[in-house]
C-alpha cells in the first residue's frame, strides 16, 4: 500500500549534529527505500521559527541553508515522488491552523511539555505562538495526509495531537477528511527505532544537543571546522565509573558517544555494544568518535559546496507549486465541511 512520509527541520540557526543524525540522515535513508507510488514531503518549517527568538534578517538565508544541508546529505530532489518546499509559501498551512485551533482544547495545549518547560515560572515573554504551534505542526502533517512523520521523543506529544485532531474533526463532521498519522509505535517500527534518536550535549548529557550560545562546547555544528569538532568530542563530559556501557540512565555521556559512533559508522547498537561494552579506556572511545566526526564533517562540507543558495531556491520554488496544489485541495475539503465554501 502506498505510504506518505513528511519531515522538516527548523531554520532558526545553524544546524548541528543532533539535527543531522536525528532527522536528516534517517530521512535520506528512508527516501532511498521508497517505491515510485509512495510520497515524500520535505519542508522548511520557517513559520515555526517565530516561536523562539529569531534573527529575522537571517531567516530567509537560513531556510536556503536548510535545503542545501539536506541536498548535501544525499536527498534526491529529482525524484518525481519528492516535494521540497517552504511552509510559509503554502498559505493553506496558516488558514488550516486557525480552523483547527477552534477544535483544539486549552487544557490539552497547556499539557504540551515544551510549552510547560519554557513557560515555567510564569515567564510573561513566552509567546502565544509557542502555546499554539503544535496545532500548526498538526496542520503541516494533515494537509498532506502523512502516514509517517519522523520526530524525536520530545515531539511525540505533538504527533499524537495531530492524530487526535484528525480523529476529532472527522468524527465531528462524520467524514474522513483527514488521514491520522500512524500511532507512535508504528512510527518507530517503520523507521526501525525503539525510540526517537536524541543526541545529547557533549557537556551536559542530560540535555539534548542544541545550537544555543549557552552550550557552544557541547554542540557540534555542521559548519564547525572538522578538527575543532573533534576537540569538542575529546573534551566531552563522561563519568567516573571507569567502564564502558550503553546505559542512558547511569552513563548518559558515554552512551551518547556510543550512539554518535553507531550512527556515523553505520554500525547497529548491537554491534557497537559488542565492541565497546566492558572496555575501560574512555580516551580510546573518544578518539574513535572524534575521528568519525572529523571525517563526516570533512565529507559533508565538501558536498555542501555543490549546491549554491540559488540552486536551493530554484528547487524550492518548483516544489512549492506542487505543494500548493496538494494543500489547497485538502483545505478546500475542510472549508466545505465547516461552511466556508460550497
C-alpha cell at 278: 566492558
Average pLDDT, the chain: 92
Measure CA 266 to chain center. 20
- pLDDT tens-digit readout, 166-198: 999 999 999 999 999 999 999 988 887 655 678
- Number of H helices and E strands in the chain, helices first, is 14, 3
What is the predicted pLDDT for the residue at 220?
96
What is the predicted pLDDT for the residue at 52?
81
> How sure is the predictor about 30, in pLDDT bands with cuts at 50, 70 and 90?
confident
What is the predicted pLDDT for the residue at 212?
67
Place of cell 502555546: 131
Is the pLDDT at 302 greater than 90, yes or no?
A: yes
Q: What is the DSSP string of 33-72?
A: H--TT-EEEEEE-GGGGGGS---TTTHHHHHHHHHHHHHH
Q: Contacts by 73-79 with C-beta closer than 8 Å and gap 24+?
A: 73/20, 73/24, 73/25, 73/28, 73/300, 73/303, 74/28, 74/32, 74/303, 75/27, 75/28, 75/31, 75/42, 76/31, 76/32, 77/315, 77/319, 79/31, 79/34, 79/40
What is the predicted pLDDT for the residue at 154?
78
> How sure is the predictor about 150, in pLDDT bands with cuts at 50, 70 and 90?
confident
Which of 28-37, 132-141, 232-241, 324-333 shows the lowest per-residue confidence on average (mean pLDDT)? 28-37
Residue 320 or 26, more confident: 320
pTM (2 d.p.) = 0.83
Measure CA 8 to chain center. 6
What is the predicted pLDDT for the residue at 297?
98
Is the pLDDT at 121 greater than 80, yes or no?
A: no
Q: Which domains does the chain have, with CATH numbers?
A: 4-197+309-338 (3.40.50.620), 216-304 (1.10.240.10)
Residue 133 or 10, more confident: 133
Place of cell 513557560: 119
What is the predicted pLDDT for the residue at 278?
97
What is the predicted pLDDT for the residue at 27?
84
What is the predicted pLDDT for the residue at 296?
97
- pLDDT tens-digit readout, 54-111: 889 999 999 999 899 999 999 999 999 999 999 999 999 999 999 999 999 999 998 8
C-alpha cell at 151: 520526530
Which of 155-159, 259-263, 293-297 shows the lowest per-residue confidence on average (mean pLDDT)? 155-159
Q: How many CA atoms lie within 13 A of 341 on its CB side?
A: 9
What is the predicted pLDDT for the residue at 13?
67
Which of 8-17, 44-53, 62-71 shows the lowest per-residue confidence on average (mean pLDDT)? 8-17
Residue percentage of the chain with pLDDT more than 70: 96
Amino acid at each position: 500500500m502506498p505510504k506518505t512520509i513528511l519531515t522538516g527541520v527548523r531554520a532558526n540557526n545553524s544546524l548541528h549534529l543532533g539535527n543531522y543524525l536525528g532527522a536528516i540522515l534517517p530521512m535520506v535513508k528512508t527516501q532511498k527505500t521508497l517505491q515510485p507510488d509512495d510520497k515524500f514531503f520535505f519542508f522548511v518549517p520557517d513559520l515555526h521559527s517565530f516561536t523562539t527568538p529569531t534573527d529575522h534578517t537571517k531567516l530567509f538565508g537560513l531556510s536556503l541553508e536548510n535545503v542545501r544541508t539536506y541536498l548535501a546529505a544525499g536527498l534526491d530532489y529529482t525524484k518525481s515522488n519528492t516535494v521540497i518546499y517552504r511552509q510559509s509559501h503554502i498559505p493553506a498551512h496558516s488558514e488550516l491552523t486557525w480552523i483547527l485551533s477552534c477544535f483544539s482544547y486549552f487544557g490539552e495545549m497547556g499539557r504540551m511539555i515544551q510549552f510547560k518547560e519554557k513557560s515555567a515560572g510564569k515567564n510573561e515573554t513566552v509567546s502565544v505562538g509557542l502555546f499554539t504551534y503544535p496545532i500548526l505542526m498538526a496542520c503541516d502533517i494533515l494537509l498532506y495526509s502523512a502516514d509517517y512523520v519522523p520526530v524525536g521523543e520530545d515531539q511525540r506529544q505533538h504527533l499524537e495531537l495531530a492524530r487526535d485532531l484528525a480523529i476529532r474533526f472527522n468524527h465531528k463532521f462524520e467524514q474522513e477528511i483527514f488521514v491520522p498519522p500512524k500511532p507512535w509505535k508504528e512510527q518507530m517500527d517503520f523507521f526501525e527505532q525503539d525510540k526517537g534518536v536524541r543526541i545529547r550535549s557533549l557537556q551536559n548529557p542530560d540535555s539534548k544537543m542544541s545550537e544555543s550560545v549557552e552550550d557552544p562546547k557541547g554542540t557540534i555544528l555542521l559548519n564547525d571546522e572538522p578538527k575543532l569538532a573533534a576537540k569538542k568530542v575529546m573534551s566531552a563530559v563522561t563519568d567516573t565509573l571507569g567502564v564502558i556501557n550503553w546505559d542512558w540512565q547511569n552513563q548518559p555521556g558515554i552512551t551518547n558517544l556510543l550512539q554518535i559512533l553507531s550512527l556515523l559508522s553505520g554500525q547497529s547498537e548491537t554491534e557497537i555494544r559488542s565492541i565497546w561494552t566492558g572496555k575501560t579506556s574512555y580516551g580510546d572511545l573518544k578518539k574513535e568518535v572524534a575521528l568519525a566526526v572529523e571525517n563526516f564533517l570533512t565529507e559533508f562540507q565538501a558536498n555542501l559546496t555543490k549546491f549554491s543558495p540559488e540552486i536551493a531556491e530554484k528547487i524550492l520554488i518548483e516544489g512549492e507549486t506542487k505543494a500548493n496544489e496538494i494543500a489547497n485541495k485538502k483545505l478546500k475539503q475542510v472549508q466545505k465541511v465547516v461552511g466556508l465554501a460550497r
